[in-house]
A and B are shown apart, each in its own frame.
Chain A
Amino acid sequence: MSSLITKVRLKQIEALLEQGKRLDERGLMDYRPIQIEQGVIEKAEGSARVLLGKTEVLVGVKVESGEPFPDTPNEGVMTVNAELVPLASPNFEPGPPDENSIELARVVDRGIRESHAIDTAKLCIEPGKKVFVVFVDVYVLNYDGNLIDASAIAAIAALMNTKMSNYEVKDGEVKIKQGYTQLPMKAHPVTVTIAKICNKLLVDPWIEEESVMDSRISFASNEKGEICAIQKGGSGFFSPQQILEASKIAVEKAAELRKQFDW
């Protein structure tokens, strides 16, 4: 957005924030409506489409057999990739992933990995040789702000929806058998992003707020209310007090959302 419009918008947003209001009439601690739809792509082992207001993210999960990492020979592998698809915003361009999509993928990855959401020990086929590799692909279909939370929710919803083919090992070959097994999961982390605008904290910034925000901070937390991953972004700063306040808001909000989703 051009800097002039941004400055005008900022004044408007600032005036509203002074009264505890937002442009889209939400309270500072309110999320936009969230819809989760699972199993939308039949050919993927797992999938979910999440609408967070007008932000729309589709996550597909593919499971294949592959080699484990040498330092974790008994554990399955998980990778997250994110595509800011050009149809999602006039500002997204085709081409190799830029720093924004790489950051998005790595923040979603950390939330899943550090909370041990996937029980990777149960994804071992033959120690040191063959394990299941879980590919989580985040596809942003419409950008209207807060891609991190929408993508993190969609990724967990898609993993919960993931069914792997049953298999047997014959002469070192993995053979597919009939039937499916649910992907084993141990936690359901929820990521909550808090933006700072004019020194005020608010959750779930939408596109108008993201264009003027000073900085943002995202916390992934698990069922026990423990923090599993943090990422600060944007070219502003937070005071230490604001960070502690944000961490408490994030853990509370995550519990609320988890209840809402029945996770």
Chain B
Amino acid sequence: MNEKPEKLIDKKGIRSDGRKVDELRPLKLQVGVLSNADGSAYIEHGKNKILAAAFGPREVHPKHLMQPDRMVLKVRYHMAPFSVQERKSPAPSRREVELSKVIKEALEPALFLELYPRTGVDVYVEVLQADGGTRCAAITAAALAIADSGVPMRDLVVACAAGKVDDTVVLDLYDAEDKLGAADVPVAFMPNLNAVTLLQMDGILSTEEFEKAMNMAMEGCRKIYQMQKEALKTKYMVVKEAGEE
């Protein structure tokens, strides 16, 4: 692996997967895909394929986690062993534990936790295939799953990353760009409340580049937000059509 990394952006500003610098990967969002969950969603974000399910409000397990004054949100982010090139052990890695925590903290601001004391909502995220930016796609899907379950929300949470590749700030890095690029900035956002609920970064960016990356990521979030709302509506259109037959 000593070979020089290939150029990730060509002279015309086209990236190695054919996208422009500020272009999202193709997205597909579906709501209500699992019959046993109270709410569920499926997202294809580029080659990422992720399922999310929400259960609750229901009893909290184990019981000592129950809070007398609010609901407890639990999130488990998990990757399937076959989701990446080298088989991943199904036991939760430290990365998965950390991501579960930050995804939970990204979703909590959207919920009226204090209105559901002594209950819990459990969100399970399964990454079936990973290609860079899974935490963001997971948040986008998890928010849809919670909305689908009928638990009231202040806003949908939508997430998207921006980063730096070959000295250029680009939107929505895929796996190769994430690995060979200079920086990655995942952002989760509630557009109607102008609230950033997740922000992480690794790599090296000047404060100006960081500002540019964050703004670009939020712009990406706004685009995905429209698709999220569309996906929620589509589920009810299908229900309505079925009812009319």
Contact = CB atoms under 8 A, between A and B. Distances in A.
Instruction: Please tell me the size bucket of the interface on B.
Output: 35 or more
A227 to B, nearest CB: 5
A244 B199 CA distance: 12
A71 to B, nearest CB: 5
Interface stretch (B30-38, B39-47, B203-211): B203-211
A97 B92 CA distance: 12
Given A227-B204, A229-B201, A248-B207, A237 B98 contact: no
A225 B108 contact: no
Given A3-B69, A226-B205, A71 B199 contact: no
B238 interface: no
A110 B202 contact: yes
Interface string A186-223: 00000000000000000000000000000101000010
A120 interface: no
Interface of A is mostly: mixed
B105 interface: yes
Interface residues of A, number: 40
A234 B205 contact: no
B119 interface: no
Contacts, number: 103
Given A114-B204, A228-B204, A237 B211 contact: no
A55 interface: no
A237 B218 contact: no
B97 A102 contact: yes
B27 to A, nearest CB: 23
B185 interface: yes
Interface string B185-217: 100001001111111111111110011001100
B101 interface: yes
Contact of B218 (A234, A238, A240): A240
B105 A233 contact: yes
Contacts of A244: 211, 214
Given A3-B68, A240-B218, A230 B199 contact: yes
A115 B99 CA distance: 21
Nearest to B105: A235
Contact of A103 (B101, B109, B194, B211): B101
B163 to A, nearest CB: 12
Contacts of A24: none
B108 A235 contact: yes
A102 B203 contact: no
Nearest to B198: A232
13 contacts: A99-B101, A103-B97, A103-B102, A227-B206, A227-B210, A228-B201, A228-B202, A230-B199, A230-B200, A238-B199, A240-B194, A247-B207, A251-B207
